[in-house]
Amino acid sequence: MSLVPIASLGLRYGVSVRGIDAIIKLACIIHNTDYWRKGRTLEKLGIKDLSIEELTHYVETGEREEGGLRGGGLRGGGVFATACRRRL
């Protein structure tokens, strides 16, 4: 897993990511690549609108809770679902 999704999670849920952000910025400079634009953000993973409880449920079970969430289970596409599937 790269640092961008970890930093994205921290930013979304109010955790300081100053150290990780500094490493990402250094990598961007060294590789001349914008990893915030190219990396796997919560939006690209399809989990940007999940609450902490919904995200925890999704990570633990591989299924999204009912009630307005799009998709269901790990059958759906997306990088996050694929990563979870590999770990289960």
Question: What is residue 24's predicted lDDT score, i.e. its pLDDT?
Answer: 95
Global confidence as pTM: 0.63
**Nearest 5°: phi and psi at 7?**
-65, -40
> 32: helix, coil or strand?
coil
Residue 72 has pLDDT above 50, yes or no: no
CA dist 53 and 81 (Å) reads: 17
Give pLDDT tens digits for 44-54. Answer: 888 989 999 99
- The set of residues, in sequence order, having a beta carbon less than 8 Å from that of 25 and lying 6+ positions away, is none
CA–CA separation, 13 vs 31, rounded Å? 28
